[in-house]
Every structure is written in C-alpha cells, then in structure tokens.
Amino acid sequence: MIDNKEIVLITGANTGIGFETVKALFASSKPYHIILGSRDPAKGEKAVAELECECPSSKSSLDVVQIDITDDEAIERLFEHVKEKFGRVDILVNNAGANFDAFNDASDPKKARELFNKSYDVNVSSTQVMTSAFAPLLIASKSPRLLFLTSGLATLEGAHKSYLTKLAGDVPRGWPKEGIRTAVAYRSSKTALNMMMLSWHHLLKGDG
C-alpha cells in the first residue's frame, strides 16, 4: 500500500550520498515509498536490486525513474509521472550534483568559463529548475520537506581557515599556477546552492 507511506524523491540516487540516503530510508522501521532518480535507469535498477538483497524485510518500497536534472523535458516528464501516480511528493531530496574541477584548471582562461558554466548549470540552475517544477507536488503534501545536499567546502570560513591552505599549500609566485587545484568552481556553485536553499526556506515556510 502506497497510501500509508511517505513519498520520497531523491535525485542522483543510484550512487554516493544519494544511494546511502536511499539505503538509510529503506532500512528504517518507518515505511517510505522511495523514488530513486538516476540518469541511467539500468544503474538505478542495479541499486534497487542491491538494496532489496540487503534489506529483504524492509517496510518501504522502491521505484526507479530516469532523471537528468539538466534536461528540462526530462524534469517535465518526471513531474507528470509522479503527479499522475502519487499526486504529491512528501520529501524532495536534491542530491544530484557534479564536480568538474578535478579534471580542469580554473586558472586557465580557456577552460574557466566552461568549468564554471557546467558547475553552475548542474549544481545551481538545474537544482532550482527541479525544485520549482516539483513545488506544486510538495505543497500538496500534508507535511512537506525539502532538502538540498550541499558541501562543507562551500563555507567561506571553512575555506579560508583550512581547505584552501591544505589544498594549495605554499603557492609559488607567477602565472599560471600550474598543478594547483582549488575546486573553486565546485565550491562557488555549492555556496550559491546554500543561498538558494535559504531562498526556498523563505518562500515555502508558510506551506508546511
């Protein structure tokens, strides 16, 4: 029975923190219907098989859906699917994100624009679009909850006191700073996500 279960939609849920979130909910004594969002449905099904093997007596149920949050049409299709099947989302977990810094040097002007654009597109713009699209289904819930997966690397104080120092060490004079990786595009996008999260709190605090 779905009626007695909270409907949880998690993006980027077939791996990493998203998968661990699904695992924790699936192992919980509280019943959930977990919509596991994955860009690759086959990987989503593999994740479900693993979870069902680990927790065969779970009170919760799982449903795999294809979702690439950078694809507006995919978001619209998923919205219509969830609306028709459930009519609401009780918990939306915006987990999908990406870090492109490991493969690029943001100090290179030829790469910096693409690096920042890709980081903000996935981690900020697409998350905003996803949340805006599903806001009507959240509001339809009696007890809606909206979660964003950000990063400890996104705090200005933390970056100043520890992260940048540990990562960069003693940076030599001159330009370019070859071999120095500061994850600046990823960190900046996650800091922007923090601001977006506060904005959503303000917008929806009267809705539950």
Which residues form the catalytic set? 151, 186, 190
Cα separation, 127 vs 70, in Å, equals: 8
User: 154, 99, 95, 100: which is closest to 130 by C-alpha?
Assistant: 95
Identify the CA nearest to 101 among candidates 164, 173, 24: 164
Quick one: CA dihedral 34, 37, 42, 43, positive or negative? Answer: negative
Residue pair 75/65 in contact (Cβ under 8 Å)? The answer is: no
- Provide the H-helix boundaries in the chain: 16-27, 41-54, 72-85, 109-120, 126-139, 156-158, 164-168, 184-204
Cα-only R_g, the chain: 19
- 126 closest CA partner among 70, 186, 72, 77: 70
